[in-house]
Amino acid sequence: MNEAILCIDHLTVRFGGLAAVNDVSFTISRNEIVSLIGPNGAGKTTTFNAVTGFLKRISGSIRFEGEELVSLKPHQIARKGIVRTYQITSLFPSISVLENIRTAHHAKEHETLFDVLFNTRRKRQTEAMTLKKAHEILDFIGLREKEKLLGSNLPYGEQRLLEMGIALAAEPRLLLLDEPSAGLNDTETQRMKELIRKIREQGVTILLVEHDMKLVMGISDRIVVLNFGKKIAEGAPEEIRKDPEVIKAYLGERRRDAKR
Amino acid sequence: MKTDRIITILCLVGAIVYPLVLRDPYYMHMAILVGIYVLLAISINLLLGYTGQLSLGHAAFFGVGAYVSSLLYLNMKIEMWGGMILALFASGLLGYIAAKLAFKLRGAYFVIMTIGIAEVLKLVGLNWVDLTKGPMGLTDIGVPRIDLGGLGVIDFANKVPYYYLILLIVLLCFFFQYRLVHSSFGRAFISIRENEDLAESVGINCYKYLVIVVIISASMAGLAGALYAHYVSFIDPGVFGFFISVNAVVMVIGGGQGTLVGPILGAILFTLIPEWLRFFGNARMAVYALLVIFIVIFMPKGILHYTKWLLRLSRREANE
């Protein structure tokens, strides 16, 4: 149960002279929900970008199920089972909701140009499999009735759900969620929280970046806190809530404030 | 869906009986030119309409196809059939090189690279006089004859057999495009157009698919070039001209990029419109240009989109 799925070891990412992520290490166990929190600019999204291969020239090591990820390309990492969502809504805007999901199932489709041209049995089976999977996911995220709408025509809250669907269609084993509740109202956030729980129940491990503390505290098994690129705390939600370093990072120190 | 099928069958029948109805050489000539432009438009549509990358240098592939097939015929007596296939491979290879060069280039940078490739090849065509005869061009590019024994001879120097040859190739390419677009390949192409970062993060190797699409697109353009060279039997470095690339792009955008039928409609209309405008005399191309601007401003989604819209509107009125 407590076997590590992702090990981040002495990760450092520099942009020019600035260390956006500075010597950060933590591990995630299989089927955990771990949250990565910290004030703006703490290096949370940078950590995501490093894990998913969108950054070059990073130092340290990132291992997924024992395999080194540094130097792999984003699509290679995705195929290993790490899929991410984006902080700013990111979907395929001018194709239908159904096509959005089908497109994202790409890594599980194995057809050659020959299959495509001659419409072989393998091609027909692949299409049927992808369609079935896409419908399962649409049912799961509750957008089945909207499958014919264009991605960009969905209301904002449903676009965020569709993003989750897109990520799920790639069949992740580790899902990185970058502020899934950003811009959502209370009901929608509640719905998102339920969805994240349901995804975990299916055996997916989750790393979450989130500003909504109620959501973070309510859902996380463990929390990792970053500030100015450094890890300042790690532990269960109750421990983090009381951690003086964390309180300092979020609220500042009384004495220094008074002096100004 | 049903009306789509009926329209498709009607168009096909129309294309097949066309030479029987309009035997006039002028109409046959226009139909053959339209066919060649349809190939070029399909080729550009695969790249522009589906992966969203604009090439303003497709004349490079068109020209390479034309020159390869012509030179093989003139210097090595290889008939058009072999020439066409080798032209397809040669321009496909050039496409592969172009795609490798493009690596991370997208948008405006990709456009500039494609223009550059076409211009470089045009200069090669102009200056490698030993091979290409420079601006003098290549002449007497012949077409094959098929002897059917007792049934007579099909001579492709005649316009009607050549028309059917082109129709066959257009149908094959259209079918190829149709199958390609409705597959995981097509979805990967579209994902490049829609959101490349997201595509990468769900495991789509966008670069690989860009290379595939450029190779296929370039090969089709090369095939069109070879068919053009053997049809007019004369080519000069003008086949690498910017005008050819731009014209084909106008057809794709005007007709409806990213649709299967739009580029065909565009190729037909934008080849015929300059002919219909002949009564404007010298002002012809200026009027044509204004028309193109008009279409781009008022029908940004392409003529096909608005034709469909009109059809739907008329159907609704009929129901009421």
Domain ranges of chain B: 27-314
Q: Per residue of chain B (320 residues), what is the pLDDT tens digit?
A: 567 778 788 888 888 888 888 778 888 888 999 999 999 999 999 999 999 888 898 899 999 999 999 998 888 888 888 888 999 999 999 999 988 887 778 778 888 888 988 989 989 988 888 888 878 888 888 777 777 777 778 777 788 888 999 999 999 999 999 999 988 999 999 999 999 999 999 999 999 999 999 999 999 999 999 999 999 989 988 888 888 898 899 899 888 888 888 889 889 988 888 888 888 888 888 888 888 888 888 888 888 888 877 777 776 666 55
* Domain membership of residue A251 as a residue range: 1-81+173-183+207-260
Q: Which fold has domain B27-314?
A: ABC transporter involved in vitamin B12 uptake, BtuC (1.10.3470)
| B195 and chain A in contact, CB less than 8 A | yes
Indicate the burial class of B170 (C-beta count within 10 angstroms; 0-12, 13-18, 19 or more): buried
Between helix B58-76 and helix B25-45 the angle, nearest 10°, is: 120
Between helix B303-319 and helix B262-276 the angle, nearest 10°, is: 100
Biggest CA pair distance of chain B = 70
Number of domains chain A contains: 2
Burial B232-257 (b: 16+ CB within 10 A, else e): eeebbbebbbeebbebbbbbbbbbbb
Indicate if A76 and A179 belong to the same structural domain: yes
B277 and B287 Cβ atoms separated by less than 8 Å: yes
| Count of H-run helices and E-run strands, chain A | 11, 10
- Cα(B175)–Cα(B184) distance, integer angstroms: 16
**What average pLDDT score do residues A134-158 get?**
90
| A228 and chain B in contact, CB less than 8 A | no
Indicate if A15 and A69 belong to the same structural domain: yes
More confident residue, B4 or A131: A131
Out of A78, A90, A119, the one facing B179 most closely (by C-beta) is A119
A31 and A205 Cβ atoms separated by less than 8 Å: yes
Indicate if A93 and A163 belong to the same structural domain: yes
This prediction has a pTM of 0.88
pLDDT tens-digit series, residues A217-251? 889 999 998 888 888 888 888 888 888 888 888 77
Do the domain assignments include residue A118?
yes
Indicate if A42 and A148 belong to the same structural domain: no
A11 and A21 Cβ atoms separated by less than 8 Å: yes
Sheet arrangement for strand A4-15: A18-29, A4-15, A58-64, A67-68
| B10 and chain A in contact, CB less than 8 A | no
Indicate if A102 and A159 belong to the same structural domain: yes
The pLDDT of residue A151 is 87
List the beta strands (DSSP E) in B7-160: 145-147, 153-155
pLDDT tens-digit series, residues A186-196? 898 998 999 99
DSSP code, position A120: -
Indicate if A177 and A255 belong to the same structural domain: yes
The pLDDT of residue A258 is 47
Do the domain assignments include residue A190?
no
Do the domain assignments include residue A20?
yes
Query: Å from A113 to nearest chain B CA?
Result: 8
| A111 and chain B in contact, CB less than 8 A | yes
The pLDDT of residue A260 is 43
| A90 and chain B in contact, CB less than 8 A | yes
Q: For B199, which residue in chain A has the nearest alpha carbon?
A: A104
The answer, yes or no, to whether residue A19 has pLDDT greater than 50, is yes
- Cα(B315)–Cα(B320) distance, integer angstroms: 9
Last residue of a domain, one of A171, A193, A222: A171
Indicate if A167 and A93 belong to the same structural domain: yes
Indicate if A218 and A257 belong to the same structural domain: yes
The enclosing domain of A3 has a CATH number of 3.40.50.300
Q: At A176, is the pLDDT very low, low, confident or very high (cuts 50, 70, 90)?
A: very high
The enclosing H or E element of A79 equals helix A74-80
Out of B201, B205, B212, the one facing A52 most closely (by C-beta) is B201
Query: Å from B275 to nearest chain A CA?
Result: 36
Indicate if A166 and A230 belong to the same structural domain: no
Do the domain assignments include residue A54?
yes
Do the domain assignments include residue A191?
no
Indicate if A216 and A255 belong to the same structural domain: yes
ipTM above 0.85, yes or no: yes
The pLDDT of residue B317 is 64
The pLDDT of residue B63 is 93
